Chain A
């Protein structure tokens, strides 16, 4: 069965490896993936553990349905205490590694300690080998994967790895697989680097048995039809996630020149339709029919002729609007370099944009930058900065640190210009006119983030009765809801609902583009019980899945509270409240977040969650979720 896969505990200091089965009870409580991930992180780290010390646990998790006949069951979740925020470090990655890890017999890896010299792990058919990786140290994320394939003599080996950024302990280094798949956020790559862990490779040939194979086949066909018939999926198949740019930048919802504007005008060259001209085909992750990854070759400049995949929406911001660049070549090259080095593109772009604003304000000078001219839209400087950050050279060494550390090192008034939540930089979307999206960013369990609870469909102007239908499944909701994305009413519930929705797909190991993220009619709580049943034989009701999501999310909160989080950090940078957006359509122009209304939203969010006014889960809530004894 898919349920027979094991948890492996690997101590890199001692070389000791032991395995454990996963009880049915644990499955019922946490399902798998991100749910069991936080359970394992909470239990295998001590309070106050140094994120880059041997005591931190680097966890790799397959979802319950990863590798089964559930559409887009490609996902792997990784976790550790984050070196960026000091709170939950957690990120999700597609590609082909997760299914391969399951074929090799494992669902979860808990990696602790620190290897004396660089190593990598090789998982194959119920065995784990710690192999030397000194010869792999220093390689980029593409080369290392090929070297491991060559060394093991097997083309089918799939690898998670870090690049030079992870080795150099850049605090937002990511985990990578394939050409572009990345577990980007929260700096888990640096945690691997601190453990001298270069990669985890897997190749397995163990059957993933299904509970009802023929029903699973038919149900998969039904779900695929449901997903691909949505207009948003057709758009994704052609333009990938950059398609979001058209709506957001046209309206004025794109963070520009750090946080000085909300729209990059006259940027036709980096519009998704322009990028599409360079896309030679699309690629899909394991079993996915949305295949949103564009395949491209850089057409111009120093990196001409290099093949890569993407870029995602985030790269348009990171190497476009945030840094004031309007060049497709810069976006595609920047996207390639962060893949090459294994950097989180989002954090990289935000740090560069921040540095550029500091340069403009005179807080950073040419002396600090080693002569680099960090003026807005300097394409060459943007590309050079990526190299400097990854290699921790010059000013790059400061920018490679966590935003709050970097602000401390730079001093002066630099913190004022930093756009972050809990020490993690914000996405390039501008949430000042959209309270729902702003609340999501402020309360997200891994620091500023859109993939933990963004109610993206809030931007669609959907009729209230339709919204109510979506947001009353599976738990009835009779509070306020409005179609206007500028309102504050009802938004806390939307954020909470999305948080549970995304938590659930992360537990299942399914991609978010196959649930209610960008399309409101996608598979969700109603479809998942049957999907779980036909593939694994486990029975869940929609309400039970909701409860698993709530348990997982609450445990992430408990982890953060254990590490010192308070209500004061569930907020936004002051600029959200003090600087109205200057551009865009009149519906957004002049808007910013109202401090008092935001406070009320946060109160309401806590109340809906069963947390007290300080954001601490009440004893009753913990008891209800069975977390009182954790």
Chain B
């Protein structure tokens, strides 16, 4: 999560964002409006800061609620 760089953007992480649930770095297709994390299955609405820089705008609400309930149930078992 290091943010420094000589001229700003770090090439290593360009085009990626971290899933807020599992913290895995994921790379959505350019211009995608939503993206589902390959690792944990959470779906995010994406906002493009620039054509190459995606940012999580917010959850895809209905999918989140459903998945969270399932996961909580599993934890409870």
Residue numbers of A with Cβ under 8 A of B are 226, 228-232, 234-235, 238, 246-247, 249-251, 265-266, 268, 271, 273, 460-463, 466, 519-521, 583-587, 589-590
**B59 on the interface (CB 8 Å rule)?**
yes
Q: Which of B3, B5, B44, B56 has the most CB of A within 10 A?
A: B3
Q: In the complex, are the beta carbons of A268 and B58 less than 8 A apart?
A: yes
A522 to chain B: closest CB distance in Å? 9
A587 to B19, CA, bound (A): 13
Residues from chain B with a CB closer than 8 A to the CB of A585 are 20-21, 42, 64, 68
Q: In the complex, are the beta carbons of A520 and B3 less than 8 A apart?
A: yes
Contact with A along B4-22 (1 / 0, CB 8 A): 1111111000000010110
A492 to B26, CA, bound (A): 33
Q: In the complex, are the beta carbons of A247 and B56 less than 8 A apart?
A: yes
Residue numbers of B with Cβ under 8 A of A are 1-10, 18, 20-21, 23, 42, 44, 47, 49, 55-59, 61, 64-65, 68, 71-72, 75
Q: In the complex, are the beta carbons of B2 and A250 less than 8 A apart?
A: no
Residues from chain A with a CB closer than 8 A to the CB of B18 are 461
A255 to B26, CA, bound (A): 28
Residues from chain B with a CB closer than 8 A to the CB of A265 are 59, 61, 65
Q: In the complex, are the beta carbons of A521 and B75 less than 8 A apart?
A: no
Q: In the complex, are the beta carbons of B49 and A235 less than 8 A apart?
A: yes
Residues from chain A with a CB closer than 8 A to the CB of B64 are 585
Closest residue on chain B to residue A226 by CB atoms: B4
A271 to B56, CA, bound (A): 11
Tell me whether A271 and B6 are in contact in the complex, defined as CB-CB below 8 angstroms, given that A238-B49, A584-B68 are known contacts.
Answer: no
Q: In the complex, are the beta carbons of A249 and B4 less than 8 A apart?
A: no
Q: In the complex, are the beta carbons of A246 and B23 less than 8 A apart?
A: no
Closest residue on chain B to residue A268 by CB atoms: B58
Q: In the complex, are the beta carbons of B61 and A586 less than 8 A apart?
A: no
B22 to chain A: closest CB distance in Å? 9
Q: Which of B5, B47, B71 has the most CB of A within 10 A?
A: B47
Q: In the complex, are the beta carbons of B1 and A229 less than 8 A apart?
A: no
Residues from chain A with a CB closer than 8 A to the CB of B75 are 586
A463 to B18, CA, bound (A): 14
Q: In the complex, are the beta carbons of B4 and A229 less than 8 A apart?
A: yes
Tell me whether A232 and B3 are in contact in the complex, defined as CB-CB below 8 angstroms, given that A247-B56, A265-B61 are known contacts.
Answer: yes
A230 to B4, CA, bound (A): 5
B25 to chain A: closest CB distance in Å? 11
B46 to chain A: closest CB distance in Å? 10
Residues from chain A with a CB closer than 8 A to the CB of B61 are 265-266
Closest residue on chain A to residue B4 by CB atoms: A521
Closest residue on chain A to residue B42 by CB atoms: A585
Q: In the complex, are the beta carbons of A461 and B56 less than 8 A apart?
A: no
Tell me whether A230 and B3 are in contact in the complex, defined as CB-CB below 8 angstroms, given that A235-B55, A585-B20, A587-B21 are known contacts.
Answer: yes
Q: In the complex, are the beta carbons of A273 and B72 less than 8 A apart?
A: no
Interchain CB contact (< 8 A) of B3 among A231, A273, A461 = A231
Known interface pairs A246-B57, A247-B20; 6 further A-B residue pairs with C-beta atoms within 8 A, sorted by A's residue number: A228-B8, A230-B4, A265-B61, A271-B57, A463-B1, A587-B21
A557 to B67, CA, bound (A): 46
Q: In the complex, are the beta carbons of A461 and B23 less than 8 A apart?
A: yes
A230 to B20, CA, bound (A): 20
A265 to B64, CA, bound (A): 10
- 30 contacting pairs across A/B (C-beta < 8 A): A226-B4, A229-B3, A229-B5, A229-B7, A232-B3, A238-B49, A246-B55, A247-B20, A247-B56, A250-B20, A250-B59, A265-B59, A265-B65, A268-B58, A271-B58, A460-B1, A461-B1, A461-B23, A463-B1, A466-B2, A520-B1, A521-B2, A583-B68, A585-B20, A585-B21, A585-B64, A586-B21, A586-B72, A586-B75, A590-B72
Closest residue on chain B to residue A463 by CB atoms: B1
Closest residue on chain A to residue B8 by CB atoms: A229
Residues from chain A with a CB closer than 8 A to the CB of B2 are 466, 520-521
Interchain CB contact (< 8 A) of A229 among B6, B57, B72 = B6
Residues from chain B with a CB closer than 8 A to the CB of A589 are 68, 72
Interchain CB contact (< 8 A) of B68 among A231, A461, A586 = A586
A82 to B53, CA, bound (A): 44
A391 to B39, CA, bound (A): 54
Closest residue on chain A to residue B44 by CB atoms: A250
Interchain CB contact (< 8 A) of A246 among B5, B6, B56 = B56
Tell me whether A586 and B71 are in contact in the complex, defined as CB-CB below 8 angstroms, given that A246-B56, A265-B61, A266-B61 are known contacts.
Answer: yes
Residues from chain B with a CB closer than 8 A to the CB of A583 are 68
Q: In the complex, are the beta carbons of A462 and B1 less than 8 A apart?
A: yes
A72 to B5, CA, bound (A): 21
Closest residue on chain B to residue A518 by CB atoms: B3
A36 to B68, CA, bound (A): 50
B29 to chain A: closest CB distance in Å? 19
B69 to chain A: closest CB distance in Å? 9
